Structure 1
Amino acid sequence: MKLPAALETFADREHVFEFMARGSRVPRLDVSHNVILYLEDITVAFDGFRALNDLTLYVDAGELRCIIGPNGAGKTTMMDVITGKTRPDSGSAWFGQTIDLLQLDEPEIAAAGIGRKFQKPTVFTEHSVFENLELAMAGDKRVWRILFAKLTPAQIERIESVLETIGLKDQRDARAGSLSHGQKQWLEIGMLLMQDPQLLLVDEPVAGMTPQETERTAELLLGLAGKHSVVVVEHDMAFVRSIARKVTVLHEGSVLAEGSLDEVQNNAKVVEVYLGE
């Protein structure tokens, strides 16, 4: 049965409506200097308390960076600034050379190529693993397309590729609500990958996982590095050691130390304020 012209437009997966095109105004990402994230002199104060205090941090393109620090060090606020949830009182935040994050709202930042995974996984529990990835597909936010549109071979191939990456190929038809905690975490990472982000922010990914799930998560994040830039906030030092190449320690809203895990673990100030707790 042929659809009316108006519904054909809704069903067209390649059609982009004006209200969906906000990200099209975002400049093209430029990492020609090999740095994907610039945070410079960022200060955020809440009722006089400085959650971030002249924070300066740089992340290289393709890097996997671990961020550690005691509670209240500013880790969550830092991610809130990067994703547009919180506006700093001062400082600058750039995504590559050309994208001023402080001039964009949250949807525009996501469209520019920054994805964030919170500690608690959020998936569509009544839908299958495959359907969760389909719903998360970049550029596929139309209401009517679920009713009328069919996936193209390229889109199916993309979902299958992500299923392979996150290790859930055998669970493709399983209801997401039936997955283990670790599998739900991997599925949410897969949902972010469907948006094709250049920078992934991952908050405490192994909290509550079994040792086997933790090991698999380390393999997953290491496999993403290079293809994506990955920033991991984590308290589990054994997990950090398994994935870290460079570690940044935050304390009182500023960078206290930076370097290899061995270097920061042997830093007297870090031991005093964090590792010695």
Structure 2
Amino acid sequence: MMSRTLVAEGMNHQKEQLPETNPTAELLNEITRRDQVFSFLKPQYNPKVDVKNGMLLYVEGVSVSFDGFKAINDLNLYIKEGELRCIIGPNGAGKTTMMDIITGKTRPDVGDVWLGQQLNLLKMDEAEIANAGIGRKFQKPTVFEALSVWENLELAMAGEKSTWHLFRAVLSGEQKCDIERVLELIGLETQSRMLAGKLSHGQKQWLEIGMLLMQKPKLLLVDEPVAGMTHQEMDRTAELLLSLAGEHSIMVVEHDMDFVRSIASTVTVLHQGHVLAEGSMKSIQDDQRVREVYLGQ
């Protein structure tokens, strides 16, 4: 009987020695610490993104299928800060789907898409991605034709967009300087008071690029910017995009090979949702696989 009592007392003594976990106390302890940021406030972090080499956009292992068709198949793409990258490929290669994924319009089945080390684009919606610094220009220009060029740029300016705010807003000197700077970049200084609907096709394309620039983007996605342009407008568009590189990263999807040659330092060729080849324009032209699937040779 005594031995049972001793055993019971020993077990009770062991229980008393065990530290009790108190979630409330642990949270309070974390909140009151001054040597670190709260865990719920810490930004996401992807150690695989090599920002030391200026990496801005990181797309790796991305795949997506539509009704059994694999539009993107294990896509790997890396864009550096200030880089101007041309993306080419035959129809159905996955170029538009790739841009849809980057901008949040389409969610991939698998893979990673990051802007820098801290922005996981797959956990953000389209508006959040746009506000984070990714601007997209579609093939067909979408400008407010009943408004002037200046008013289009003013409406596109980064900041609050509520109706009441826009109605009461008065441009600061800095904001006016931003608009004037963009007007000069896109070559529409003398058309600033002209209705956008009266611009030529090429001028509307430049205005839309200017509207994206008013958002101060880190990355510009530009889809077939010279479709339907005259040769003079194409030359001016090439000058514009080259002038933006360095301050912005730019991804240009284009079919016109003459235009690509005029701006490209690095070209990525997509085929069946995968990177077929990547390198200088000369290396791409000399690649037999590219000749077979894209150039038809």
Query: Normalising by the residue count of structure 1, what TM-score does the alignment of the two structures yield?
Result: 0.89
1:258 has 2:243 as partner: no
1:189 and 1:274 map into 2 onto residues whose CA distance is 28
How many residues get paired? 253
Is the 8 Å Cα contact of residues 26 and 112 (structure 1) preserved in structure 2? no
Q: Any idea what the Cα deviations from partners look like across 1:156-206, whole Å, max 9, x if unmatched? A: 111000000110001000000000000000000000000000000000000
* Structure 1 position 149, deviation (Å): 1.9
2:208 and 2:236 map into 1 onto residues whose CA distance is 15
Instruction: Return the match for 2:220 from 196, 200, 207.
Output: 200
* Structure 1 position 145, deviation (Å): 2.7
* Structure 1 position 142, deviation (Å): 1.8
Q: Please give the residue correspondences for 1:28-39 in structure 2 after superposition, counting only pairs within 5 Å.
A: 31-39=51-59
Is the 8 Å Cα contact of residues 219 and 248 (structure 2) preserved in structure 1? yes
Partner of 2:78: 58
Partner of 2:148: 128
Larger Rg: 2
1:44 and 1:141 map into 2 onto residues whose CA distance is 34
Query: Normalising by the residue count of structure 2, what TM-score does the alignment of the two structures yield?
Result: 0.83
Q: Any idea what the Cα deviations from partners look like across 1:25-46, whole Å, max 9, x if unmatched? A: 9879x94440111100100100
1:58 and 1:71 map into 2 onto residues whose CA distance is 22
Shift of the 98–235 alpha-carbon distance from structure 1 to 2, 3 Å rule, reads same
Shift of the 223–50 alpha-carbon distance from structure 1 to 2, 3 Å rule, reads same
Instruction: Return the match for 1:93 from 109, 113, 125.
Output: 113
Partner of 1:215: 235
Give the root-mean-square deviation of aligned CA atoms: 1.7
Bigger RCO (CA 8 Å, 6+ sep):
1
Is the 8 Å Cα contact of residues 26 and 108 (structure 1) preserved in structure 2? no
1:206 and 1:262 map into 2 onto residues whose CA distance is 22
Q: Any idea what the Cα deviations from partners look like across 1:193-223, whole Å, max 9, x if unmatched? A: 0000000000000000000000000000000
Segments of 5+ residues of structure 2 without an aligned counterpart are 1-41
Partner of 1:183: 203
Partner of 1:276: 296
Segments of 5+ residues of structure 1 without an aligned counterpart are 1-24
Q: Please give the residue correspondences for 1:12-91 in structure 2 after superposition, counting only pairs within 5 Å.
A: 31-91=51-111
Identity between Structure 1 and Structure 2 (%) = 67
Q: Any idea what the Cα deviations from partners look like across 1:49-85, whole Å, max 9, x if unmatched? A: 0000000010111000000000000000000000000
Shift of the 26–133 alpha-carbon distance from structure 1 to 2, 3 Å rule, reads farther
1:145 and 1:210 map into 2 onto residues whose CA distance is 40
1:275 and 1:175 map into 2 onto residues whose CA distance is 41
1:169 and 1:107 map into 2 onto residues whose CA distance is 30
Detail structure 1 runs of 4+ shifted over 4 Å in the superposition.
25-28
Partner of 2:37: none
Q: Any idea what the Cα deviations from partners look like across 1:111-160, whole Å, max 9, x if unmatched? A: 11000000000000000000000000001312113322211111111100
Q: Any idea what the Cα deviations from partners look like across 1:219-248, whole Å, max 9, x if unmatched? A: 000000000000000000000000000000
Q: Look up the equivalent residue of 2:140 and give its one-letter code.
A: K
1:237 and 1:148 map into 2 onto residues whose CA distance is 47
Partner of 1:231: 251
SS of the equivalent of 1:41 reads strand
Instruction: Return the match for 1:157 from 171, 177, 197.
Output: 177
Shift of the 147–218 alpha-carbon distance from structure 1 to 2, 3 Å rule, reads same
Q: Look up the equivalent residue of 1:150 and give its one-letter code.
A: V
Q: Look up the equivalent residue of 2:153 and give its one-letter code.
A: L
Q: Which structure is higher in helix share?
A: 2
Shift of the 32–144 alpha-carbon distance from structure 1 to 2, 3 Å rule, reads farther
